[in-house]
Amino acid sequence: MNIKQYLDSTYLKTASQANLSEVENTKVVEAFIKEAIDEEFKLIMIRPDKVKLAKEMIVKANSKVLIGTVINFPDGNSSIENKLEEAQEAINNHADELDFVINYEAFKRGEIDLIKKEIIACAQLGLSHKKTVKFIIEVAALTNHQIIQITALIKNTIIAHFKEENFAHVFVKSSTGFYKTENNLPNGATIPTIILMLENSNPLPVKAAGGVRTLEEALVMIRLGVKRIGTSAAKTIADGNVANENY
């Protein structure tokens, strides 16, 4: 097994979140992209405004690294129209994968029809352009019962509206890594939450994002059935060391 083909190397901080200038933060993004190219990771996951930069660097290096970006990140509470507009721009800029933050607060309020419409519209846009689509459910904001419900809702909606050949290209993803939890509780993937997702997502694949800090933890997730792992410490994990980063 090539662990690097499971790793989505991730940097999603804005300049202000990183306490850097825009120029300094762009340099950090460039370093992440270069590392992903050099290490041959599956994918580099960055903010939408950095997709063009990644495409230029990857083409210049003649690399196979995929480009992923996040849509309506990190809150997921914009309108469907706004999400589609942001996603279309990312597609135009040659993103390969689109990670939509689902409107999990609307889901918690019981607005199931809205969530179904969002799933269908976002998946249709991505799949029609031959892109992989991931729906971030933000497990730290949900109860176990809600994790089961929203995972099953995504699965059942995709099965009802799309062909089987598309299923492998629609993921359920655990976390943004930016959710603020109380009492320093985990805000990313944990083994119990990933098991709940895996039990209710099949045949859709699962991505574990946030909280995976060692190679052994990554291997445990993969053995459970996870197909992708999002981490800002991809090289550290691939090298068998312990990451200090939260995501």
Q: Which residues are catalytic?
A: 99, 173, 207
Amino acid sitting at position 203: P
SS3 string of the chain?
A: CCHHHHEEEEECCCCCCCCCCHHHHHHHHHHHHHHHHHHCCCEEEECHHHHHHHHHHHHHCCCCCEEEEEECCCCCCCCHHHHHHHHHHHHHCCCCEEEEECCHHHHHCCCHHHHHHHHHHHHHHHHHCCCEEEEECCHHHCCHHHHHHHHHHHHHHHHHHCCHHHHHHEEEECCCCCCCCHHHCCCCCCHHHHHHHHHHHCCCCEEEECCCCCHHHHHHHHHHCCCEEEECCHHHHHCCCCCCCCC
Cα separation, 212 vs 225, in Å, equals: 15
Amino acid sitting at position 198: L
